[in-house]
């Protein structure tokens, strides 16, 4: 390969990405601006630069091992060496850089055993990710069969064995050769056997994996004695069993059932959740051929598959979702969600641009019903066509109008040449002059509008805010709608470093600025220091002593461990603890070992909240999608929530209070409240009910509320 550099420049109307070896890359986005890509004319066709008009270049650099080989000698006896790149695997990305901005660096090491280069380090600013592979000792190179006997040296690519995160935490991986299963393509099949997560000082979570052949019969009879792979994952007392289709049919490899039995934070109570999936065939989509593959190819490689049913079982409840119909591309068009004999039916429609841009599955209408009849259109998106905006955006899949319950709420009337939104209008009149309220966007850089304008409230014309955006796509200055300037600075790598507030032009107050400093010098306890002071002109250092500071210390997984706050005279602090799922289980009071402890059940739902000196509140999750709360004085409140195809605790439909008062809330399938009724005994011992009714117009906007005690 003669190393000659050739620049390929392509000007296109932007609609996709096509790679043609030897000719360059055609890069396009919605709109009409030309784009260019620059490649080197090597066998590998290395991409070295991405350029777009009016935007910042992205540069790609490589590690290259060059060699010289003798060239053909000329008749006069002169000879010239030819410089070549000897092998494609030596072509390794060294860095990716935004020109004049951030750079990500990549480091590698050469493995003498297989002559391969392996990524072992990624650096961005003051953050470093490190990677290790299984070749440190002879034992690392060996495989182990399920029965425990050693197998010959593993000669494939080195397997990833450890990832060290920027905060100092790590994830370790261990592999072994399990027994050959039903459809394994080869006799030796190395699989992940263990994963260990460390927070920088302690192993907080260990996953043990096992794989075996099994058969599966679903609860509803959709599958009967179907061949599956059973994957078991054990995390301490917690256990998850996953069943994957393994019969080479159209749904080969699909998850059919997942059952999880997990314990609460205190390892006392367990909860079980089971999810079943059923699939159907949309269409056969062609042929697939493997070269030198020792097994028959499964039908799933040439099948478009649809999910037809999902059943979630937990707390004695079944939440059922049926995907009743689909379009040609496998998108669901009718869905039924059911819980406790109440259903929500949803019809979905899509817009497909199949002539030029080939944009599929753009959502158009969502219609909802609780009876599978008399559907109401909840939302609708209309896309630009030949009749909108004089056809300027036809066929590009750009939204023109959004509707809610039959009433338009937004119109996207203008886009710039790159497809960025330039103007959106709202269905509400301006306070001054004619026309509707709107927001206009212009001067985009890195996807951010640098000028945003809206109509003036009490006068003709517009008011605007402006942004200054650097080459990394970060806002470095904002002048808001009132003309107030705020400046932002960033540390190398992109973290926010300083916020510089302008002096108040009315009061003359010079507001204190904010400085953020990250410290990764302590390997497993990164710190962020927040100082309130007057910043220098570059917004990267305090000009004077800070009047207030906060020091946040994190663990190796970047979870806040301690928070210390001082004004230079007095200091106070807090401590935090977490469970293996990252849930906060303790927050101390200021400068105290006492605080608030939270216990979660196996599904990460709050089970108990204990406050030092104030007792504890306990939560129980009951059949019927209910939560029972018992407070510190042993009072019990049971709340029933609306749910359909999955557990939900957002909309209460019944509250039984400890005062023997029952509140019933009528909520329709759209989530709108129609009545709130409270019933119970008065002080005089008489039974009484008070009902509040709410009424909506044809667009589901609240227009009237009535109560018997309000005239």
Domain ranges, residue 89: 1-100
Q: In terms of C-beta distances under 8 Å and separation of at least 24 residues, what long-range contacts does 686-693 make, across chains too?
A: none
What mean pLDDT, rounded, does the chain reach? 87
Q: Are residues 141 and 96 in the same domain?
A: no
The beta strand positions in 446-526, using DSSP E, are 448-455, 462-469, 475-479, 485-490, 496-501, 513-519
Q: Is 3 part of any domain?
A: yes
Q: Are residues 636 and 672 in the same domain?
A: yes
- Decide which of 180, 201, 222 is a domain's last residue: 201
By CB neighbour count within 10 A (0-12 exposed, 13-18 middle, 19+ buried), where does 260 fall?
A: buried
Q: Are residues 113 and 67 in the same domain?
A: no
Q: How many domains does the chain have?
A: 3
User: Which stretches of the chain drop beneath a pLDDT of 50?
Assistant: 1-34, 41-43, 87-88, 136, 139, 141-143
Radius of gyration of the chain (CA): 32
Query: Which of 143, 251, 225, 229 shows the shortest CA–CA distance to 182?
Result: 229
- Decide which of 100, 119, 151 is a domain's last residue: 100
| CA distance to 109, 551, 576, per residue, from 165 (Å) | 19, 21, 21
Q: Work out the end-to-end distance of the chain between its first and last CA atoms, rounded to an integer number of angstroms.
A: 90
- Decide which of 67, 82, 100 is a domain's last residue: 100
The predicted pLDDT at position 535 comes to: 94
Q: Is 478 part of any domain?
A: no
Q: Are residues 6 and 29 in the same domain?
A: yes
| CA distance to 272, 567, 604, 658, 705, per residue, from 639 (Å) | 21, 45, 19, 11, 24
Q: Are residues 114 and 88 in the same domain?
A: no
Q: Is 652 part of any domain?
A: yes
Q: Is 71 part of any domain?
A: yes
Q: Are residues 135 and 43 in the same domain?
A: no
The predicted pLDDT at position 21 comes to: 40
Q: Are residues 132 and 167 in the same domain?
A: yes
Q: Are residues 18 and 33 in the same domain?
A: yes
Q: Is 123 part of any domain?
A: yes
Q: Are residues 82 and 123 in the same domain?
A: no
Q: Is 86 part of any domain?
A: yes
């Amino acid at each position: 390969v003669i190393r000659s550099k050739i620049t390929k420049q392509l000007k296109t109307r932007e609609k996709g990405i096509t790679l043609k070896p030897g000719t360059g890359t055609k890069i396009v986005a919605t709109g009409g601006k030309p784009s260019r890509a620059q490649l080197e004319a090597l066998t590998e066709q290395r991409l070295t630069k991405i350029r777009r008009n009016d935007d910042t270049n992205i540069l790609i650099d490589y590690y290259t091992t060059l060699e010289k080989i003798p060239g053909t000698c000329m008749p006069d006896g002169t000879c010239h060496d030819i410089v070549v790149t000897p092998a494609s695997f030596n072509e390794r990305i060294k860095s990716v850089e935004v020109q004049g901005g951030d750079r990500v660096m990549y480091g590698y090491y050469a493995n003498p055993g297989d002559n391969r280069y392996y990524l072992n380090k990624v650096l961005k600013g003051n953050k470093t990710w490190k990677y290790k592979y299984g070749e440190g000792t002879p034992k690392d190179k060996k495989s182990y069969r399920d029965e425990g006997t050693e197998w010959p040296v593993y000669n494939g690519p080195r397997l990833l064995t450890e990832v060290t995160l920027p905060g100092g935490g790590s994830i370790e991986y261990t592999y072994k050769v399990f027994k050959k299963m039903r459809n394994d393509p080869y006799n030796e099949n190395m699989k992940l056997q263990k994963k260990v997560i460390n927070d920088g000082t302690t192993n907080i979570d260990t996953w043990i994996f096992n794989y075996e052949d099994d058969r599966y019969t679903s609860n509803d009879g959709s599958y009967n004695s179907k061949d599956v792979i059973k994957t078991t994952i054990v995390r301490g007392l917690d256990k998850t069993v996953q069943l994957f289709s393994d019969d080479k049919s159209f749904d080969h490899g699909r998850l059919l059932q997942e059952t999880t039995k997990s314990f609460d934070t205190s390892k006392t109570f367990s909860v079980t959740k089971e999810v079943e999936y059923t699939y159907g065939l949309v269409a056969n989509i062609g042929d697939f051929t493997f070269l030198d593959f020792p097994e028959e190819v499964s039908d799933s490689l040439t099948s478009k598959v649809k999910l037809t049913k999902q059943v979630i079982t937990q707390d004695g409840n079944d939440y059922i979702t049926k995907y009743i119909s689909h379009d040609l591309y496998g998108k669901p068009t009718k869905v039924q969600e059911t819980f406790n004999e109440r259903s929500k039916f949803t019809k979905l429609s899509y817009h497909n641009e199949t002539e030029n841009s080939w944009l599929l599955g753009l959502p158009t209408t969502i219609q909802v019903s609780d009876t599978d009849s008399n559907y109401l259109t909840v939302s609708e998106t209309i896309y630009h066509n030949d009749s909108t905006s004089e056809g300027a955006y036809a066929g590009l899949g750009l939204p023109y109008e959004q509707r809610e319950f039959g009433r338009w709420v937004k119109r996207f009337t203008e886009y710039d040449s790159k497809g960025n939104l330039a103007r959106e209008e709202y269905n509400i009149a301006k306070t001054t002059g004619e026309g509707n309220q709107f927001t206009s966007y212009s001067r985009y850089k890195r996807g951010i509008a640098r000028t945003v304008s809206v109509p003036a409230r009490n006068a003709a014309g517009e008011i605007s805010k402006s942004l200054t955006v650097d080459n990394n796509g970060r806002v470095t200055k904002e002048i808001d709608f009132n003309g107030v300037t705020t400046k932002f600075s960033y540390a190398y790598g992109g973290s926010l470093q300083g916020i510089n507030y302008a002096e108040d032009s009315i009061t003359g107050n010079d507001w204190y600025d904010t400085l953020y400093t990250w410290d990764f010098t302590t390997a497993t306890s990164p710190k962020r220091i927040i100082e309130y002071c007057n910043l220098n002109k570059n917004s990267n250092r305090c000009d004077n002593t800070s009047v207030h500071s906060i020091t946040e210390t994190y663990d190796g997984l970047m979870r806040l461990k301690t928070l210390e706050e001082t004004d230079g005279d007095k200091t106070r602090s807090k401590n935090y603890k977490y469970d293996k799922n990252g849930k906060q289980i303790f927050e101390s009071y200021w400068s105290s070992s006492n605080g608030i402890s939270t216990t979660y059940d196996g599904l990460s739902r709050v089970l108990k909240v204990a406050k030092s000196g104030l007792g504890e509140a306990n939560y129980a999750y009951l059949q019927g999608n209910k939560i029972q709360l018992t407070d510190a004085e042993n009072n019990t409140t049971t709340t029933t929530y609306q749910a359909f195809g999955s557990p939900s605790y957002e909309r209460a439909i019944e509250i039984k209070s400890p005062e023997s008062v029952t509140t019933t809330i009528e909520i329709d399938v759209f989530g709108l409240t129609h009545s709130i009724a409270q019933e119970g005994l008065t002080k005089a011992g008489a039974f009484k009910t008070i009902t509040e009714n709410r009424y909506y117009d044809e667009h589901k906007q609240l227009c009237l509320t009535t109560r018997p005690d309000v005239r």
